[in-house]
Structure 1
Amino acid sequence: MIRAIVTGGLLIAAVAILAFAPDYLNEASNEEQKPPCDLLAGPCSWQTDQGQWQVMLTPGPEGDQGVEYQLQVTVPEAPDRFLAVLRGENMYMGEYPVPLVREESLEYRARFTAPFCTTGSEMIWRIDFQDGQDLIENVPSTLVFRAEK
């Protein structure tokens, strides 16, 4: 009886792995296929069906908490609740939402200080965009920058 239960459980587990593993592997490989775009090296821009996007990141003065950055985003159409989210690219350090303020009809800006890792200054951050809680997925590259301390 126990052997039948164990065999049945293993069969169910094998079927579940075969059913869900391909989707998980495809999602992980899609994220890895995006080439990086270093925002501190220059602006990153791309074309979508709606129009041209451009993202610029400028380091500012160093304060008590580190370097203050200015993020400027030009979009083809205005999202309802536009947000940039900082996420650690080379190590998990949490997620830090940065509200984007509309300066002109299709131009947004934000000022922020990136948290820095206490183990060194080699922290690479990724910037993802969200419309409210929904990730904006039309970005063809990974927007990254190396935080300065």
Structure 2
Amino acid sequence: MLRAIVVLGFILVLISAVVFGGRWLQPTDKTLPAVDQPVCDLLAAPCEWQTDAGQWRVALQRLGDAGQGEEYQLTVLTPAAPKRFLAVLRGESMYMGEYPVPMRHDGGDSYSAHFTAPFCTTDGEMIWRIDLQEGQELLSDVVPIKLVFQASDHSAS
């Protein structure tokens, strides 16, 4: 009798976990950026937007392949001087981790960084998203658009 009660209890717990488990595992963080943000291709043209603090401008330029992959220069003009300003590369078309790129203060409202985007070994075309952060804090409240670019593995061709 006791064995039947234990087995029945285990089955009820298992069914409850299956039914309600999806709700428990869903993220509750409402600070994540909106999924339907407008997209701006940084290699097509600089991205600009206006905030209460002033005008933002983000530009990305290809510098060429120095043997370790395609190098890029990211330039950000910002009306506010963030402390510990970072650009974080995140795979948009495929998750490949997160790559923080520290932004160097060039004086005034200008910041820049040089980086090489990692490339995917299974697909030579990779779309990356650049998220601007102040330390660990995502600047989603001042960046209303999704900043993306497509990196190519030219060494594979």
User: What TM-score does the superposition give when structure 2 sets the normalisation length?
Assistant: 0.80
Structure 1 residue runs without a partner (length 5+): none
Residues 106 and 6 of structure 1, relative CA distance in 2, 3 Å threshold: same
Residue 18 of structure 1 and its aligned partner are, at CA, apart by 5.2
**In structure 1, the residue corresponding to 2:34 is in which secondary structure?**
helix
Residue 51 of structure 1, aligned match among 38, 51, 54: 54
Does residue 129 of the first structure (1) align with residue 132 of the second (2)?
Answer: yes
Greater Cα radius of gyration, structure 1 or 2: 2
Amino acid at match of 1:96: Y
CA distance in 1, matches of 2:22, 2:64: 51
Residues 66 and 106 of structure 1, relative CA distance in 2, 3 Å threshold: same
Root-mean-square deviation (CA, aligned residues, Å) is 2.5
Tell me the matched-pair count.
Answer: 147
Q: Which residue of 1 aligns with 2:90?
A: 87
Q: Which residue of 2 aligns with 1:103?
A: 106
Q: State the percentage of identical aligned residues.
A: 50
Q: Which residue of 2 aligns with 1:42?
A: 45
Amino acid at match of 1:63: A
Residue 118 of structure 1 and its aligned partner are, at CA, apart by 1.1
Residue 19 of structure 1 and its aligned partner are, at CA, apart by 7.1
Q: Which residue of 1 aligns with 2:146?
A: 142
> In the TM superposition, what whole-angstrom CA distance separates every residue of 1:44-67 from its partner, at most 9, and x where no partner exists?
111112111110001112110111
**In structure 2, the residue corresponding to 1:140 is in which secondary structure?**
coil
User: What TM-score does the superposition give when structure 1 sets the normalisation length?
Assistant: 0.83
Residues 16 and 117 of structure 1, relative CA distance in 2, 3 Å threshold: closer
